Structure 1
Amino acid sequence: MQRSLKWFASATTLAMLFVLIGGALVTKTGSGMGCGRSWPLCHGQFIPSQITPELVIELSHRLVSGLAGIMVLVLSVWTWRAIGHIRETKFLAIVSFVFLVLQGLIGAAAVVWGQSDFVLALHFGISLISFAAVFLLTLLIFEIDKKFDAESLVLDRKMKFHIYGVITYSYIVVYTGALVRHMQASLACPSWPICAKARIMPVQLHEWVQMGHRLAAALIIVWISVATIQAVKYYKQQRVVYWGWIISLILVLLQMITGALIVLTQLNLYIALAHAFFISCLFGVLSYLMMLALRSNHHQQQVKETNEPTKSVPSILLK
């Protein structure tokens, strides 16, 4: 049973990644209206009479999202029954399914009634929360084997600040990136890292949106770098935190590189999809670090209430 659950959870996580990448593909190719103002059917038909590339992309995304929704529902019920005794399980099970349904409703509303770019930009972020919840459920399942040291972590205040702050700020970065896509502002600034060779500052709305996203992305790179340095210096013995930040730094650098290449290659589709893939993976890793930080808080509170001695930690972590 446990092995089957692991396989299914891994498959569901992969399916959610396809949902995220598929949504980015729909936006990048302008296929959002590939099925017209009809949902869930295409042009009001079960089998569309006129097949276009945009229709295929949009319909495929709907089918993948529908299949992922069924898988997430099954995973939520399965994990609730199998590992419901683990503190985070029930909350993540609810969040994973509710947010997936919510993103589907926003997508449907956009097709039927239309939405502003600022509202549509929320679509990717909501899907990202559902993906992160599924990803965390999968990690909880694999933690049953006790191959991680996630149960006995002790984090200092500075590290907790980095974890909570970076994941919150990363969501802002995700939103600005989605806004760039939906406003079709990806090439508003044809140079990189400055807006244009002749001038540094943007002068119109699309340029401000593009440069705002670049600035937000630059700040998160700096922040993750600082947190990674702290993890490397003080958390070598706590592998999950140590490697979590190193992987986060690698992913955010890959995100920066693909973001620059999107501009330099004039919107190469594969690079754009890789850009969405890296931010999805980064948010998943940061979500796991946040769960560990919350778990550490709970563990320390239990120790305080029972007057048990805390785990020996380096003195630098207690400052």
Structure 2
Amino acid sequence: MGEQANQPRTPGRLSLTCWLSWATLVAMFLGNTIGFTDAVTGSAMGCGSDWPLCNGQWIPSHWTMAMVIEYTHRVSILFTSVFLLPLAVLAGWRYGRRSEVRWLIGFTLGGVVAESVLGAMTVLFQNPPAVIAVHLGVAITSFVALFLLTLTIQRLDRAGGRPAVLTPLRPLAASRRLSRWSWFGLGYVYVAAYIGAYVASTGYGALFAGWPLPAERYSAVGAAFWVDLLHRMAALGFLVLAVWLYALARRERLRRPDLYRASMVVVALVLLQALSGALLVWTHVSTLAFLVHVTLVTGLFMTLGYMAMQVLPDPAAVQSQDPSTRWVRTGRQRAGA
């Protein structure tokens, strides 16, 4: 068994672990979509104040639309967990030598557990906006962690390495400036996502009709004015940040075309995010507009998470004694260019 585990895989052939990871990712995406629908339609109390029971029953005897949405969301989390637990075991066993794999498994598992706890708190504490906002943020974070785990497993399989041996995936380093700004961008979108989730959970977004700036006055909407304005300013700030990331990545497009392509995706997603924000305002936060908006936020988080992971030192390349695969910086990069 140990000898088989050390045998190199056929390059390009995906393992069972990889297919299981993709299946889990699809299940989590569907579960998150149902959860976002749950939040925007106000269906979190569809099963009453009971958890994990639904109106005192495991399977309700009568249904309402809010009950269907809330109950389906709970089942989807359970269904995702059925895939996730064996995935964590297999991924840890086959690819656990890579530190990012271990971290991503931990983030994904921790996120799903936190989602369940926050879901229970949402029901037991009667739909508090702050808890709903954190719930939405954790759901996106755990999905992005699973996406990065899936991508890492697939790349390792494509490389055809051995599970017991570290396989280099990113031998060339990015500049320190691009590395720092990539991580800053990830943190920025994380905070901005929570602000947006809070706006959605409070229902403040439906109070405004103006775009790109609110046309309403503070005297008409009260504290909602400043919360909504903060959300819009955060979105504008991220547009500036996305352009800056693109400019930095463009300087390294020959050495790190992966980061250059990712930076272009970030700019495109930010622009689409702005348009979806306008759609949210014009439709007074319709369910479809909200799902489009939150899906674009997830895409942004995924892309920036990819960039943040790709600027990290590769554990295999750092340890390698082969000059052609050693993780290196040029003199200009060491200076922080």
2:151 counterpart of 1:139: yes
| Aligned match of 2:49 | 37
Q: Secondary structure at the match of 1:9?
A: helix
Whether contact under 8 Å (1:188, 1:210) holds in the other structure is no
Q: Secondary structure at the match of 2:174?
A: coil
Q: Matched residues in 1 for 2:222 and 2:96: separation?
A: 52
Q: Secondary structure at the match of 2:159?
A: coil
Note the C-alpha offset of 1:212.
Answer: 0.9
Query: Out of 243, 249, 253, which is 1:231 matched to?
Result: 249
Q: Per-residue CA shift, 1:68-111, capped at 9, x if unaligned?
A: 12212121111011211222212211221122111111111210
2:171 counterpart of 1:152: yes
Looking at both structures, which has the greater relative contact order when contacts are Cα pairs under 8 Å and sequence separation is at least 6?
2
2:3 counterpart of 1:11: no
Q: Matched residues in 1 for 2:117 and 2:260: separation?
A: 38
Whether contact under 8 Å (2:43, 2:70) holds in the other structure is yes
Query: Out of 58, 62, 65, which is 1:46 matched to?
Result: 58
Classify 1:266/1:239 alpha carbon distance in 2 versus 1 (closer, same or farther; 3 Å).
same
Whether contact under 8 Å (1:35, 1:59) holds in the other structure is yes
Note the C-alpha offset of 1:312.
Answer: 6.7
Q: Matched residues in 1 for 2:229 and 2:334: separation?
A: 37
Q: Matched residues in 2 for 1:9 and 1:151: separation?
A: 22
Q: Secondary structure at the match of 1:102?
A: helix
Q: Secondary structure at the match of 1:295?
A: coil
Structure 1 unaligned blocks of 5 or more: none
Classify 1:94/1:315 alpha carbon distance in 2 versus 1 (closer, same or farther; 3 Å).
closer
Query: Out of 262, 283, 287, which is 1:265 matched to?
Result: 283
| Aligned match of 1:292 | 310
| Aligned match of 1:243 | 261
How well do the aligned residues superpose, as a CA RMSD in angstroms?
2.8
Structure 2 unaligned blocks of 5 or more: 1-12, 161-166
Q: Per-residue CA shift, 1:195-240, capped at 9, x if unaligned?
A: 11x6599862112111111111110111011111221233233122
Whether contact under 8 Å (2:318, 2:327) holds in the other structure is no
Classify 1:203/1:43 alpha carbon distance in 2 versus 1 (closer, same or farther; 3 Å).
closer
Q: Matched residues in 1 for 2:254 and 2:294: separation?
A: 30
2:102 counterpart of 1:126: no
Whether contact under 8 Å (2:107, 2:145) holds in the other structure is yes
Note the C-alpha offset of 1:37.
Answer: 0.5
Query: Out of 235, 246, 250, which is 1:217 matched to?
Result: 235
| Aligned match of 1:192 | 211
Q: Matched residues in 2 for 1:223 and 1:300: separation?
A: 30
Classify 1:202/1:139 alpha carbon distance in 2 versus 1 (closer, same or farther; 3 Å).
farther
Equivalent positions of 1:306-317 (< 5 A) are 311=328, 313=330, 315=332
The count of aligned residue pairs is 315
2:185 counterpart of 1:166: yes
What letter corresponds to residue 262 of structure 2 in structure 1? G
Q: Matched residues in 2 for 1:168 and 1:62: separation?
A: 29
What letter corresponds to residue 170 of structure 1 in structure 2? V
What letter corresponds to residue 260 of structure 2 in structure 1? Y
Q: Matched residues in 1 for 2:219 and 2:318: separation?
A: 49
Whether contact under 8 Å (2:176, 2:333) holds in the other structure is no
Whether contact under 8 Å (2:171, 2:327) holds in the other structure is no
Question: Percent sequence identity over matched residues?
Answer: 29
Note the C-alpha offset of 1:299.
Answer: 7.5
Q: Per-residue CA shift, 1:135-155, capped at 9, x if unaligned?
A: 111011111123998421311
2:120 counterpart of 1:108: yes
Note the C-alpha offset of 1:123.
Answer: 0.8
Greater mean deviation of Cα atoms: 107-116 or 131-140: 107-116
